């Protein structure tokens, strides 16, 4: 007896699927409605200023925190330990890590400044720092080559501290968050 019940269930399921499919594909004005829905989905709707500002402070804090953490962990800390000096053990690896950290920090600072544009208080506080952030662009290459590490490290540290201060003044306190090595090498 179980075999006929299974057949009945399969037959009932298939017939329901066919009826539902035929109803969904029915003629009339349904085709025009579907085309209108597809067209509306294809054209993006404009974002409001409220949507642009959503989570602007949170994103700013996250990006600036990652930049600060990378700078401290792989640039400032090894510099203070003397790892960038000629003849230091592990100098080459420390310089490569510092170069990667510099590129990562620059990238996150650019993202943080873009996030700051979504919040009026942050945009006013971070706007004067745009030139300092842009000046960091060439410094990672100098770090990788080992050129004038004192000025490079001080430049990164100064910009990070200015971004932290600007965030704090706008009500978005930035705390260092050290990125993982995969985040650092991934950009």
Q: Where are the domains of the chain?
A: 2-42, 49-186
Could you please state the CATH topology (level 3) that the domain comprising 49-186 is classified under. Answer: 1.20.120
Q: Is the pLDDT of residue 22 over 50?
A: yes
pTM of the model: 0.66
Q: What is the mean pLDDT of the chain?
A: 76
d(CA 156, CA 40): 46
Residue 148 backbone zone (phi > 0: left; psi -120 to 50: alpha; other: beta): left
The predicted-structure confidence for 56-106, as pLDDT tens digits, reads as follows 888 989 999 999 999 999 889 998 898 888 888 998 898 888 888 888 999
Choice between 30 and 177, residue whose per-residue pLDDT is larger:
177
């Amino acid at each position: 007896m179980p075999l006929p019940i299974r057949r009945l269930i399969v037959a009932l399921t298939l017939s329901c699927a066919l009826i539902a499919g035929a109803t969904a594909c029915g003629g009339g004005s349904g085709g025009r409605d579907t085309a209108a829905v597809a067209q509306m989905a294809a054209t993006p709707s404009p974002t409001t200023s409220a949507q642009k500002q959503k989570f602007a402070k949170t994103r700013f804090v996250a990006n600036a925190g990652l930049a600060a953490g990378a700078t401290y962990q792989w640039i400032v800390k090894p510099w203070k330990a003397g790892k960038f000096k000629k003849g230091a053990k592990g100098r080459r690896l420390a310089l490569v890590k510092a170069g990667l950290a510099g590129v990562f920090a620059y990238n996150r600072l650019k993202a943080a400044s873009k996030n700051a544009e979504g919040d009026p208080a942050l945009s006013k506080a971070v706007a004067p720092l745009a030139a300092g952030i842009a000046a960091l662009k060439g410094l990672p290459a100098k770090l990788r080559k080992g050129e004038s590490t004192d000025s490079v490290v001080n430049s990164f540290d100064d910009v990070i501290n200015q971004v932290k201060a600007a965030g704090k003044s706008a009500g978005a306190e930035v705390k260092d968050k050290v990125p993982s090595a995969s985040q650092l090498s991934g950009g």
